[in-house]
Amino acid sequence: MIMVQDGWQVYYKLILMERVTFLVMPNRLSRLTTVGHHPASGSVKNGINPAFLLEKTVRAAMSDYLLLLLGTALVNNVVLVKFLGLCPFMGVSNKLDSALGMGLATTFVLTLAAVASWLLEHLLLAPLHIEFLRILAFILVIAAVVQFTELVMRKTSPVLYQILGVFLPLITTNCAVLGVALLNVQQQHSFIQSMLFGFGSAAGFTLVMVIFAGLRERLTLMAVPRLFAGSPIAFITAGILSLAFMGFAGLYK
């Protein structure tokens, strides 16, 4: 009796683990499912320790995740390497505070949008075979998330809301957001990978926004020739920054 109970518990654990693993890493699924785990087969005694397996999977996944996160944030930086999201990058980087606010708002939107679009893709679009509506559906979700962010920000930080102005609703059309959602599908990321990819991209976006805002704040104090003052020098600086980020090339993928 006790044996049987243990066996069932192990079975459930494995089922649970399978789900988790699917969420975590679809390509590792096959390795696990090949292990026989019928309660009656007594596979637990045959040396297959679920805890060990789980730990190993998670550990491998973790280092993958860390690399994914860093790689997305720095090496394949969404702004300076992929050249996505340039509109807010140039538009809201005048002041450090607003750049940080924009970065955080975009982080929120991007991560949420990446997650929501993954769910949408795998729970709605793929089962119904209507992937051709992907862009439409994604934009719908992104717009809703942005609207929500806007409502929250208006309530919590009216000054930031005022400062960000039109750039806040424009997150909807920030190509980084849609780009990341689409890249997630294209690169067949798992749920967690999608989330991390979204978050990493957003972190990279925020990092670059903040760095660039710092540079531009200093530029306002410099005696830039009139010919280059304002946007021209900002573009030149962005170019040099992109040049510097090329130093990360080859670190990941």
Partner 1 sequence: MMNRAKLNSSPHAKADSAVSVIMRQVLMALGPATLFGICIYGWPALFLFIITVTAAVMFEAWCLRLAGKPVKATLQDYSAVLTGWLIAMTLPPYAPWWIGVVGAGLAIVVGKHVYGGLGQNLFNPAMLARVGLLIAFPVEMTTWVQPHPWFSSALPGFVESLRITFIGMDNIDAVSGATLLGHVKTELSQNHLLPHSLDGLFDMANVWLGLMRGSLGEGCLPLLLVSGFWLLNKGVIRWYTPISLLGTVFMLATMFNIYDPEHYLSPLLHLGSGALILTSFFIATDYVTSPQTPFGQIIFGCGCGVLIFVIRTWGSYPEGAGFAVLLMNSVTPLIDHYIRPRIYGRDHKGKPLEVVD
Partner 2 sequence: MLSFFKKAKPTIRGGVHATEHKSETSGKPIVYSFPLPAKLYIPLQQHVGKPAEPLIKVGDHVLKGQLLAYSQGAISAPVHAPTSGIIVDVSEYPAPHPSALPIRTVVLASDGQEKWQKFSPVNDPLTIDPEEISLRVGAAGIVGLGGATFPSAVKLSQGRKNKVHTLLINAGECEPYLTCDDRLMQERPEKIIDGVRIMLHGLGATQAIIALEDNKEQAFLAMQTAAQPYPNVTVMQVPTRYPMGWDRQMIRYITGKEVPAGSRSTDMGILLHNVGTAYAVHKALRTGQPLISRVVTISGSAVKNPMNVEVPIGTLISEVLDFCGVDLEKTQRLVMGGPMMGEALPHPAVPIVKGTSGILALAENEIKTGTEQACIRCGSCVSACPAGLLPLEMMSRIKNNQLDAAVGFGLKDCISCGSCSYVCPSNIPLVHYFKYASGELIARQQAQHKTEQTKRLMHDKQARLERIRLQQEEEMRQMQMEKQQRELAKAQAAEAEITS
Partner 3 sequence: MIVLSAIVSLTLLGLVLGLLLGIAAKYLKVESSPVIDELEALLPGSQCGQCGFPGCRPAAEALAAGEAPATLCPPGGSALAEQIATLLGISLDLSDMAEPEALVARVDEDNCTGCTRCFKVCPTDAIVGAPKQIHAVVADACIACQKCIAVCPTECLQMHPVEVTLRNWRWTKPPRMRSSEAVC
- For 51: left if phi > 0, alpha if psi spans -120 to 50, otherwise beta; the answer is alpha
Amino acid at 40: A
Which one, of 115, 109, 122, lies nearest residue 164 by Cα?
109
Q: In the chain, what is the straight-line distance between the N-terminal and C-terminal CA atoms, in Å?
A: 52
Q: How far is the CB of 39 from partner 1 (least distance, A)?
A: 44
Q: Which residue reads 């994914």 in tokens?
A: 68
Q: Which residue in the set 15, 23, 35, 124 belongs to the binding site for partner 3 (CB under 8 A)? A: 124
Q: How far apart are CA 102 and CA 168, in angstroms?
A: 8
Question: Shortest approach of partner 3 to residue 181 CB, angstroms?
Answer: 15
220 binds partner 3 (CB under 8 A): yes
Question: CB of residue 240 vs partner 1: minimum separation in angstroms?
Answer: 5
Under rule CB under 8 A, residue 98 binds partner 3: yes
Place of tokens 């530029």: 219
Site string for partner 2, 71-90 (x = CB under 8 A): --------------------
- 107: closest CA among 197, 236, 230? 197
What residues line the site for partner 1 (CB under 8 A)? 96, 210-211, 214-215, 217-219, 222-225, 228, 233, 236-237, 240-241, 243-251
Task: By CB under 8 A, tell whether 152 contacts partner 3.
Answer: yes
At 131, the amino acid letter reads E
Measured from the CB atom, the residue of 29 and 233 that comes closer to partner 1 is 233
Does residue number 220 form part of the binding site for partner 2 (CB under 8 A)?
yes
